[in-house]
Structure 1
């Protein structure tokens, strides 16, 4: 953990990364929750395999290393035994991860309010009740959004994903963005141009496929295809972990938060965003590269 921040929540512990020996061709997908993690993992799995029918089995083959639900001895041993190119995911900000100049770090972001409302729905689809105090099912007083704005980036709050966690993820990744192996992606840009996203990721990973095969891989990663085959693409899909694998891919659209917040709540959000980010960074974090056009 030398020179790394400690992120220790009720679900996650970034010290678990100390048990993983990073390889030169490893691919780490690093995101706040509900920002396109599974989508980017699927893109990586399709590109590495070159197989549009690949069984991604993300929770086992491309594990979330931080989470405590699996014994780290088992996770580390399984990853060490892999002879093919490896990919793993993390919901820890970049300043809490081991850095290797040869591995690729793909950092994915989404409008913070879209991520927040998607996370609300996501938690109702899991059996985990650790965060019910933050996300009550009957929230007539706006408690959930107040905690989204008031929560900190570390400790228990880490796993509840308040705005401070998203901002920490972004600032930590942006501070490293000049490195050739740290790349920032935005959910909105991936939605607007999935072929362009595939081309960019393939270039970063040094992977090439014939055009016809690339078209098949891109089609396999479309939202409609992943939702129609949710038991295959959802993390732990087909194993009964989620109440509904299909619900994991609820809509894939942006702007679901519009009309859900009061003017006062939006003003508080705006004030926090403006206090933490300059105008250009804020535009990118909310709307991606197209915001600069």
Structure 2
């Protein structure tokens, strides 16, 4: 843990990374929850394999190292035994991860309000009640959004994904973005130009493919195809981890908050965003490279 910030919550523990031997060709997919993590992992799996029919099995083959569900010695041994190029997932901000000068870090972001409302749906699809305090099912008092604005970036709060956690993710990734092995992607850009996302990532990873094969890989990674084949593409799909694998891919749309927040809630959100980000950084974090006019 030397020189790394501690992110320790009831579900996650970034000290688990201490048991992973990083290889120079490893690929890290680093995101706040519900910002396109599974989508980006699938794209990485398709590019590394060059196989549109690859069985991604993300929870096993491209594991979320931080989460405590699996015993870390078993996860570390499984990663160590892999002979192919590895990819791993993390919801820990970059200042809590081991930074290798050669491994690739793919950081993905989404409009914080879209991520928040997607997370609301996500916790209803989990067969556990841990999130009830933050995300009450009958939320007549506005508890969910209040905790989204008030929560801290780490610990118990971090596991429930408040705005502070998203902002920590962005600011720590942006601080490292000058490195050639740290790249920032945006969900809105992926939605607008999936082919461009594949092309950019293929160049970063050094995984060129013929135009015909690339077109097949892109079709495999479309939202509709992944939702239609949710048992294949959802993390731990077909194993009962979610109430509904298909519901994991709920809609993939943007602007989910419109009409669902009060004027005061929006003003509070604006104040927090403006207090932590420059206008340019806020615009990118919310809308990606094309800006709000393309939203």
Taking structure 2 as the reference length, what is the TM-score of the superposition? 0.98
CA shift, 1:139, in A, is 0.1
CA shift, 1:131, in A, is 1.6
**Structure 1, unaligned runs of 5 or more:** none
Pairwise CA RMSD of aligned residues?
Answer: 0.8
The answer as to whether partners of 1:10 and 1:130 remain within 8 angstroms in 2 is: no
Paired residue for 1:208? Answer: 208
1:192-236 Cα deviation digits (max 9, x unpaired)? 000000000000000111100000000000000000000000000
Task: Give the distance between the partners of 2:83 and 2:290, measured in 1 at CA.
Answer: 39
Task: Give the distance between the partners of 2:53 and 2:47, measured in 1 at CA.
Answer: 12
CA shift, 1:128, in A, is 2.4
Paired residue for 1:149? Answer: 149
CA shift, 1:148, in A, is 0.2
Measured at CA, do residues 88 and 272 of structure 1 come closer, stay the same or move farther in structure 2, by a change above 3 Å?
same
Paired residue for 1:159? Answer: 159
Paired residue for 2:272? Answer: 272
Measured at CA, do residues 173 and 204 of structure 1 come closer, stay the same or move farther in structure 2, by a change above 3 Å?
same
Paired residue for 2:57? Answer: 57
- Corresponding residue pairs, total: 293
1:198-277 matches, within 5 Å, as 198-277=198-277
Paired residue for 2:87? Answer: 87
Task: Give the distance between the partners of 1:182 and 1:272, measured in 2 at CA.
Answer: 26
Paired residue for 1:5? Answer: 5
Paired residue for 1:179? Answer: 179
Task: Give the distance between the partners of 2:229 and 2:45, measured in 1 at CA.
Answer: 15
Measured at CA, do residues 175 and 19 of structure 1 come closer, stay the same or move farther in structure 2, by a change above 3 Å?
same
CA shift, 1:176, in A, is 0.1
Paired residue for 2:129? Answer: 129
Paired residue for 1:115? Answer: 115
Paired residue for 2:74? Answer: 74
Paired residue for 1:28? Answer: 28
Task: Give the distance between the partners of 1:147 and 1:292, measured in 2 at CA.
Answer: 26
Taking structure 1 as the reference length, what is the TM-score of the superposition? 0.99
Task: Give the distance between the partners of 1:84 and 1:155, measured in 2 at CA.
Answer: 34
The answer as to whether partners of 1:12 and 1:67 remain within 8 angstroms in 2 is: yes
The answer as to whether partners of 1:52 and 1:217 remain within 8 angstroms in 2 is: yes
Q: Residue 46 of structure 1 aligns to a residue in which SS?
A: helix
Q: Residue 145 of structure 1 aligns to a residue in which SS?
A: helix
**Structure 2, unaligned runs of 5 or more:** none
Paired residue for 1:15? Answer: 15
Task: Give the distance between the partners of 1:6 and 1:131, measured in 2 at CA.
Answer: 22
CA shift, 1:127, in A, is 1.4
Task: Give the distance between the partners of 1:144 and 1:51, measured in 2 at CA.
Answer: 41
Task: Give the distance between the partners of 2:188 and 2:229, measured in 1 at CA.
Answer: 22
Over 2 Å off, 4+ runs: none
Q: Residue 207 of structure 1 aligns to a residue in which SS?
A: coil
Task: Give the distance between the partners of 2:206 and 2:227, measured in 1 at CA.
Answer: 28
1:223-259 Cα deviation digits (max 9, x unpaired)? 0000000000000001111000000000001001111
CA shift, 1:130, in A, is 1.4
